[in-house]
Structure 1
């Protein structure tokens, strides 16, 4: 009987009557051929089991097992794995949902010898989820493997490198794999690895798939096929409210010790040796242990002894001091300082304030304090419960960087900074070169363009948020304008509109540019504000795409047109610009509406995606809009060729070489950020066209190195990250080649 079951969908339940019916309906909507659905209840006293059993007529192979005594959340999941009969396990917890076609897509994506498949997921916020939790979830999405790499296979070495990166960033607990509803695991591999470590409170569902993925790689499905519901009754919410020390200190300590000493994390230790200098995993674990002991000593007296016993048990594999010759011994000191700064407002212990002598410098200490301060300000983003150990302290409250970050989050700069400013900057560079604009006037107008782009993008978002306060409240979404009275919202909108217009007080605009600029101001109003509110009409995505991409590109053309004559056919440039920006913008809006479909559905917001269906919207984006986008890009490449063949040759050569090397296996195919559908979105469009065109300008006129500097400043976090990936891969492939010889 076991052989005919390919996948076991496991549903561990406990007191889930409020949610489990929706969960079972989403499972029943799948193609269940070769699939069993195993529900293991952990002693519910509500209607959970009855509701599950009511789906027996829609789920052919449904098994319901009740534990004779309560095991607890992690042990119950392990029992599900033991009782399952399928070769693969697909967890769907009682409050989770999976999209129609989820099982089929994940089964089709499997790859021989790779034990983990992960799909994209979305969050649904219910029951007044606090802002810090919403921000934490959005941050997890941004950091996830699917967001970083799109779809396809990612090697174990790349996953291990990311685990080490999280250690370096002092966030080893950041789950970049995904919640259980987003993954499917080979049963035999999970059981052979010992199952889920029941010592963890929160990170058990991260540590095991990470351990398997670092050994044999992971397959990604670039579609949001799973929904994780965020509400006050969830296991996660109970953990965050009742197990603060266990999550924020013990879980973090446990995974650090596992990385440093655990037999299942050899790949992570190997990855830690690749940077120069290496990352000291053992030293870091010892530093976290020292911080944990200090924090435990300040717990209430009745909790201290048990906390210290747990710390002793977790740290038993660690030596008493960092061995001589171990990598980066100062990581112990830095890790201890970072954790203490993040989790409390206490004074630092004396040994952390002492001059490090010949092992370090005051500069190093300052750098660690800065990093730890940033970690404190981002505490909500990285799933640390507020008030868990100590309170938000002086570091957070006094930091200007923290205030800037909170303002950026309120304006959702992560949603528009790259994919809007990148194309606009590239368009400006194209116009400067194509028209051979002198650098004096050209640089001044580039600065004005970037100024207006930033403030009008923010203007568009605050108009939208001000109009969506009520619908976002119904949907349970956070809203930057929700806490402001009506007049204050109006004041914010007017302020951004006015500040955005400042450059044009000193730079004269020709009538066409002025008309387009007025249209940029008008579009967010007709798009968002009732009674017109075009966002709820079929033309909504076209209007949004026009405002975000087409109109800014037209404004850029008219802004620079008086400054020089074209070097090629204007029709070619105009057709390429309109086709590329309209298609790229429409694809961006469709993606946003697909990702936000659940929230829009629950709030009653009508969008194009909800009218035509998510599957049809994906096909529209992939088979119609994206090819049009590539055609527009080709026309723009031809336009660039009329003034700089060298720039075209470098750009096309880079793309062909990099993708060719990846697709032929010369470099790691797991670098899926370079795929057309995802990576050109995330990296190519956002950085390289503007950077390449600005360098082409600088070759013609060195003063345009100022523009190159602006591009690097705008996208600085992406430039070193992309460079480090390239250098790391080059070193790895060189070593592999030398070993092969």
Structure 2
């Protein structure tokens, strides 16, 4: 267990395990439903893609720590790679690169998927390493992160599952997924950069967020959300609108009750000061959406064990939703007990 905890800390799994992986899995589940194929019959290939993506995520987390080391030390921010001897620091990313070559070879019969798998490795290398260091090149860094962490991976899922099932790519679905993942990805990296803004200013790291005041972003955060939501609703109509839209309404009711009863302020990008917050749509993408798809698939194909497997691997956000729901019920106990 001690070794697992060390691996968990070194590779920063807590920072990306659910946030990066679950939306990709949700796209896999949704693509299976959209193609009218069984998630169960494709689970081995979905797991193969998942492992290939995790290897890439570990590569990204390690090279980010290595290339951010000097900046982190200047502002007193913990950097896990600083604790590792210099001669050992590149072992993990090199092993990941070798593993990535293996996964790329396995995808080589599908040219579109192969390109989509390789692109995040290239983009994140350009994002982190000098002389390119896109992280410090304003909006190019924002775009690179959104493309590498969300767009290319989501489109890989769509293209690869289509190819594996001898189905033509549905280009409308492909475009909707790409547009949604781009807007969601941009919103995610902007939140992260503004969350780290003070550290970056102290260390002298030039990012899109350090060049702008938070008030400037408040003018465009609604634009991003209003682009993201219609794209997702368009995806819903390509899957099962009678399934997704009620779950979406249930989520917004949860957001409202969480705000009214627990004081969690809904946030698009910029965090409020000294106030608990909930980033809009995050819990939906990490909990409501994937679980709704798996329940739907379970009723249609009778494979509820996939739901159990998903919950075993990804459950921290669900536990938080359940806990907050309990607190909401407790805070309104008198109301519910007095209702006829």
The interval holding the TM-score normalised by the smaller chain is 0.7 to 0.9
**2:268 aligned with 1:669, yes or no?**
no
- Report 1:289-328 matches (<5 A): none
Q: Deviation per CA, 1:554-597, whole angstroms, max 9, x where unpaired? A: 11112111134769x92431222111111111111111111111
**2:152 aligned with 1:551, yes or no?**
yes
- Report 1:25-40 matches (<5 A): none
**2:305 aligned with 1:712, yes or no?**
no
Q: Is the 8 A contact 1:460 1:524 kept in 2?
A: yes
The separation in 2 between residues aligned to 1:434 and 1:702, in whole angstroms, is 18
| Aligned mate of 2:164, from 549, 563, 566 | 563
For 2:135, the equivalent position in structure 1 comes to 535
For 1:651, the equivalent position in structure 2 comes to 244
Q: Is the 8 A contact 2:52 2:100 kept in 1?
A: yes
For 2:64, the equivalent position in structure 1 comes to 464
| Aligned mate of 2:46, from 429, 446, 451 | 446
Larger Rg: 1
Deviation at 1:429, TM superposition (A): 0.5
| Aligned mate of 2:284, from 674, 678, 684 | 684
**2:317 aligned with 1:726, yes or no?**
no
Deviation at 1:500, TM superposition (A): 5.0
Deviation at 1:651, TM superposition (A): 3.4
Q: Which has the higher strand share?
A: 1
Q: Deviation per CA, 1:427-465, whole angstroms, max 9, x where unpaired? A: 100111111234565111111122122221121011111
**2:120 aligned with 1:520, yes or no?**
yes
Change (3 A) 1:635 1:592: same
- For the aligned residue pairs, the C-alpha RMSD in angstroms reads 2.8
**2:7 aligned with 1:407, yes or no?**
yes
- Report 1:353-372 matches (<5 A): none
**2:205 aligned with 1:601, yes or no?**
no
Change (3 A) 1:658 1:450: closer
For 2:274, the equivalent position in structure 1 comes to none
Unaligned 5+ runs, structure 1: 1-399, 642-647
Larger relative contact order (Cα-Cα within 8 Å, sequence gap ≥ 6): 2
Deviation at 1:702, TM superposition (A): 2.1
Change (3 A) 1:500 1:404: farther
**2:83 aligned with 1:483, yes or no?**
yes
For 1:640, the equivalent position in structure 2 comes to 239
The separation in 2 between residues aligned to 1:668 and 1:553, in whole angstroms, is 31
Q: Is the 8 A contact 1:436 1:565 kept in 2?
A: no
Q: Is the 8 A contact 1:452 1:501 kept in 2?
A: no
Q: Deviation per CA, 1:231-289, whole angstroms, max 9, x where unpaired? A: xxxxxxxxxxxxxxxxxxxxxxxxxxxxxxxxxxxxxxxxxxxxxxxxxxxxxxxxxxx
Equivalences, count:
330
Change (3 A) 1:709 1:462: same
Q: Deviation per CA, 1:112-162, whole angstroms, max 9, x where unpaired? A: xxxxxxxxxxxxxxxxxxxxxxxxxxxxxxxxxxxxxxxxxxxxxxxxxxx
The separation in 2 between residues aligned to 1:662 and 1:440, in whole angstroms, is 32
Q: Deviation per CA, 1:170-225, whole angstroms, max 9, x where unpaired? A: xxxxxxxxxxxxxxxxxxxxxxxxxxxxxxxxxxxxxxxxxxxxxxxxxxxxxxxx
Deviation at 1:716, TM superposition (A): 1.9
Q: Which has the higher helix share?
A: 2
For 1:251, the equivalent position in structure 2 comes to none
Q: Is the 8 A contact 2:34 2:239 kept in 1?
A: yes
Q: Deviation per CA, 1:271-324, whole angstroms, max 9, x where unpaired? A: xxxxxxxxxxxxxxxxxxxxxxxxxxxxxxxxxxxxxxxxxxxxxxxxxxxxxx
For 1:246, the equivalent position in structure 2 comes to none
For 1:368, the equivalent position in structure 2 comes to none
SS in 2 for 1:424: helix
For 2:216, the equivalent position in structure 1 comes to 616
